[in-house]
Amino acid sequence: MPKELKADLSLLNKLVSELSAQLELAYKARDLINKSDPEDEKFQTFVVELSKSVGLLSGIANEASLLVGDLQKIMQYASKAPDADEPGNLLKSILSSAKTKGGMRN
């Protein structure tokens, strides 16, 4: 397995950091809401700020699903038999598999 093959968490970390900052803005907007008037512009500002947070969260979910795929590739490389790509070993592997499944007689 190539040692340089690693999961890149930099974008995920950046998105989480941005979400944290965005939520702080949403909470500040929420604290300014006039509860008696839901049509107030401050309420709309809160909804907009919260919607931005939801968008960032969607990006986090998307990046997390891509990260799962990256980790699966790393696992595949780690579990791959050494030198399995060499032609002689491939033939040996096929014949060995056929033998164990009863496809060939001894």
- Percentage, residues of the chain above pLDDT 70: 72
Give 3-state DSSP helix, strand, coil % of the chain, rounded to 5. Answer: 70, 0, 30
Cβ-count burial 27-51 (b if 16+ within 10 Å, e if not): eebeeebeeeeeeeeebebbeebbe
Q: Read off the pTM.
A: 0.65
Identify which has the larger pLDDT, 84 or 28. 28
Query: What is the 8-class DSSP label of residue 32?
Result: T
Identify which has the larger pLDDT, 3 or 17. 17
When pLDDT is cut at 50, 70 and 90, the band that residue 104 belongs to is: very low
pLDDT in tens, 53-85: 999 999 999 999 999 998 998 888 888 766 555
At 97 the pLDDT is 63
